[in-house]
Structure 1
């Protein structure tokens, strides 16, 4: 039995799902875009371009990231490879854990809905799984703090999806407030490309991507470390916490790393740059199942 536990996105990471690294081609991207044109527009908006990684470099980077997780005591589970899905790099958007419940995402992207089938072998062993009744919502938009749950109203998540999540919380007995976060323009695929928690009451943010009101809401709850345009485009905001005082961060993000050190947090830098050519970072690449102080 896998006992789901996620009290906060920075609680010590105990168990996580990652995707299999698969070699894909430009044609795999083009074919998916021809079948699902809306998917193509979102992907291009996400980082202005979509590129095929040099797999001889990207694969060792991904494998090195998995080893890093294991070396820090994290149990890593890898999704099975699906024959009809070319890319399974970023499992964060397939589901998300809040407290003791795993919620299955509802993607607008047909390819991601097919990809979600890779979770099926685990579902019977997971302590509690909830499906949502309607709307669209993906895990990259969901950030669990000590009290509220932030949900980005991005290209992947809508108000109906947030309403369905509130209903899911009611069924599960989760009393947390859901705080929607709005963006200043179109093209933001997920909240965690513009804001992430990197410590207790501490976050990285790209303020220009958020409405002034949503930015002010975050400023009430967090000390905010501003990412510049280059850092945001390079997905350097997209980090993953191993513990409240240990954050995995892009090796290029020297300035952001130093900001963590000054606040007593250890930045664990890793080169993920070739993987990220198909836009996604460390948070995208992980689906946490268990966080908390003690092993279950």
Structure 2
């Protein structure tokens, strides 16, 4: 059986599902895209090829193995992009929630069915009208930050992945933690005006440190709340270019070890100055599909 327990984003990572980049199928067309970053690269003939994705994910895999993380891979599904395992579910304490993801991605869930059967707890499936994806869920001890979109045009935006119904449900179910919704910018077509998930603009990396990309938030008050909560000296505040590059989407293996993109020069220096070993990986091709290291992983157990 697989033990599960997640109380935060930074305790020592023991077991994780890492996505796979094989058998992606034909390159997507404009009509296949369900986020503006992928759409941009499809239109500009810069969408990544499978060989490059395989290489980058494999390097990431080796970094996890280096630090003694148990890595579980999804079962391969032909003609299916299975890189971004994060969105398929999430763990809060010892509860596993299966995400209600966008219809375009339903086949990905089949790849983790075998793993879910081996968990030491049951799997909670939310009702269909409660939309939520794992990239919007950040667990921080007695708090859970959840990215959402609360405007009336929610149903028209395929980039809006988590709704208020799911947040209300989690508030009732997990009474031991404070559920904090955070509104995100959304656009189906404008790469500069869309934050696909909360972890694309915010992530906690220790009990008192965080990465914040202010341009990704819909409301400035949420940015101010987070900066005040962690303390300005404990926060890496990304500029607009760094926000565009998804600089917050690192993976914390432990408080002392973080996997980051080799191109995140300013962030990597800040982390190293704070005593963190930064495992640098070039994830440039994966990032063209709107995610990096956190998006590629679904942690099941942290020490």
Do Structure 1 and Structure 2 share a fold, with TM-score over 0.5? yes
Report deviation, 1:111: 2.2
Specify the alignment match of 1:37 in structure 2.
none
SS at match of 1:219: helix
Specify the alignment match of 1:117 in structure 2.
110
Report deviation, 1:278: 2.1
Q: 1:133-212 residue pairs with structure 2 within 5 A?
A: 133=127, 134-154=129-149, 155-169=160-174, 175-184=176-185, 186=187, 187-210=194-217, 211-212=219-220
**Alpha carbons of structure 1 residues 24 and 117: separation in structure 2 relative to 1, 3 Å:** closer
Q: Quote the Cα distance in structure 2 between the aligned partners of 1:86 and 1:132.
A: 24
Retained in 2: the 8 A contact 1:197–1:203?
Answer: yes
Q: Quote the Cα distance in structure 2 between the aligned partners of 1:80 and 1:24.
A: 13
TM-score normalised per structure 2? 0.85
1:105 aligns with 2:99: yes
Specify the alignment match of 1:30 in structure 2.
29
Gaps (5+ residues) in structure 1? Answer: 35-39
Specify the alignment match of 1:261 in structure 2.
272
Q: Quote the Cα distance in structure 2 between the aligned partners of 1:65 and 1:185.
A: 29
Specify the alignment match of 1:216 in structure 2.
224
Q: Quote the Cα distance in structure 2 between the aligned partners of 1:199 and 1:249.
A: 15
Larger displacement relative to structure 2 (197-206 or 46-55): 46-55
Report deviation, 1:161: 1.6
Q: Quote the Cα distance in structure 2 between the aligned partners of 1:239 and 1:185.
A: 21
Q: Quote the Cα distance in structure 2 between the aligned partners of 1:198 and 1:231.
A: 17
Give CA deviations for 1:53-83 in whole Å, capped at 9, x if unaligned.
1333331111111011011000001100113
Larger displacement relative to structure 2 (87-96 or 229-238): 229-238
Report deviation, 1:255: 0.6
Report deviation, 1:113: 2.0
Tell me which of 241, 246, 256 is aligned to 1:235: 246
Gaps (5+ residues) in structure 2? Answer: 150-159, 188-193
Retained in 2: the 8 A contact 1:43–1:49?
Answer: no
Retained in 2: the 8 A contact 1:204–1:224?
Answer: yes
Question: Aligned Cα RMSD in Å?
Answer: 2.0
Retained in 2: the 8 A contact 1:250–1:269?
Answer: yes
**Alpha carbons of structure 1 residues 161 and 49: separation in structure 2 relative to 1, 3 Å:** farther
Retained in 2: the 8 A contact 1:199–1:245?
Answer: no
Specify the alignment match of 1:58 in structure 2.
53
Retained in 2: the 8 A contact 1:46–1:189?
Answer: no
Specify the alignment match of 1:18 in structure 2.
18
